Amino acid sequence: MDQRELGKTGLIVSRLGLGLSEMGDQPLSQEQTAERILTKALDQGINFLDTAACYDNSEELIGRTIAGRRREFVLSTKAGHVAGDYVGQDWTAETVRDSIERSLTRMRTDCIDVVHLHSCSVEILERGEVIRALQDAKQAGKTRSIGYSGDNEAARWAVESSLFDTLQTSFNLVDQRARHNLFPLARERGMGIIAKRPIANAAWGATRSPSHYATEYFRRAQRMAEKGPIPSAPGERLVLALGFVLAHEAVNTAIVGTSNPEHLLQNIRWVHEELPISRKAVEELHHRFQELDAGWSQES
């Protein structure tokens, strides 16, 4: 599996990462399925795992299944929301601190590689207390790096602040704003860049919206597809989507989620056997997005 350095963090990550929100939706009784997915990912060279305190059982399943292989993977989580049985308020320093402690316990580790603030607003960022809570955790050795996960104006604020080591943001063939608005400055600041929603919730080439999360992506995909076939595009629509994101060197890793071990193995095969895709296809997708972009801001 191809790897990149995650900005200036010193962390080396696989280009294809594993997002664990879908796994978190599974009951703890599905621990064996979770173990199969996580073990197969590590065995096949995926070493970047992304979760969050509010992804239900996700963190606990990591701790139950692969804590013994902790040195083999880079672990990213997110904090800020009240999650689980915790009693408190979103976006306070206390909630962030307690969330990090809970994550350490649930994942059975003494240090998390990256802790992101989970899509908070500019107003909360400007208030500063949650950023200081992250900085304190880094100073205490509870996390190696701190990041911001989010989009649009708040992501731009986070990049411009130079306070964060990493940026996790939406980027795909129907959500391309980050390419100009965020990536150049983030790279200049030495930030690691993590692409979320890289296959656009499977909206490209779908005959109907795959989920309520994908409604806007489906609409954009339909508009872009009306221009005709993409020249030199691969036959598999998800290969086109994933290949588009990984064609951008600014992206250090792209996180794709699944609760199906076979889907995971298929994603890995595509990366090994089908990528890179044609530069002509990438450039055509750039052109169509730019031509049709009518305030198509990033989708959170």
pLDDT level of residue 28 (50, 70, 90 thresholds): confident
Residue with tokens 């060279």: 45
Helix (H, G, I), strand (E, B) or coil at 239: helix
Per-residue pLDDT tens digits for 79-127: 999 988 888 899 999 999 999 999 999 999 999 999 999 999 999 999 9
Q: What pTM, to 2 d.p., does this model score?
A: 0.97
Closest CA to 269 of 242, 298, 299, 248: 242
Flag the least confident range among 18-32, 47-61, 101-115, 285-299: 18-32
- Cβ atoms of 100 and 57 closer than 8 Å: no
Distance between CA atoms of 74 and 147, rounded to whole angstroms?
A: 14
Average pLDDT, the chain: 96
Give the DSSP letter string of 24-66.
HTS-GGGHHHHHHHHHHHHHTT--EEE--TTSTTHHHHHHHHH
Per-residue pLDDT tens digits for 197-221: 999 999 999 999 999 889 999 999 9
Q: What is the mean pLDDT of residues 249-271?
A: 96
Closest CA to 200 of 189, 184, 192, 211: 211
Break the chain into its structural domains and give their ranges.
3-201+249-275
By percentage, how much of the chain surpasses pLDDT 70? 100
Give the DSSP letter string of 249-294.
TT-SEEEEE-S-HHHHHHHHHHHHHT-SPPHHHHHHHHHHHHHH-S
- Supply 250's token pair: 């600014």
- Whether the predicted pLDDT of 29 surpasses 80: no
Find out if CATH 3.30.450.40 is the number for domain 3-201+249-275.
no
Residue with tokens 């872009």: 224
pLDDT level of residue 48 (50, 70, 90 thresholds): very high
Per-residue pLDDT tens digits for 141-189: 999 999 999 999 999 999 999 999 999 999 999 999 999 999 999 999 9
Residue 264: per-residue pLDDT = 96
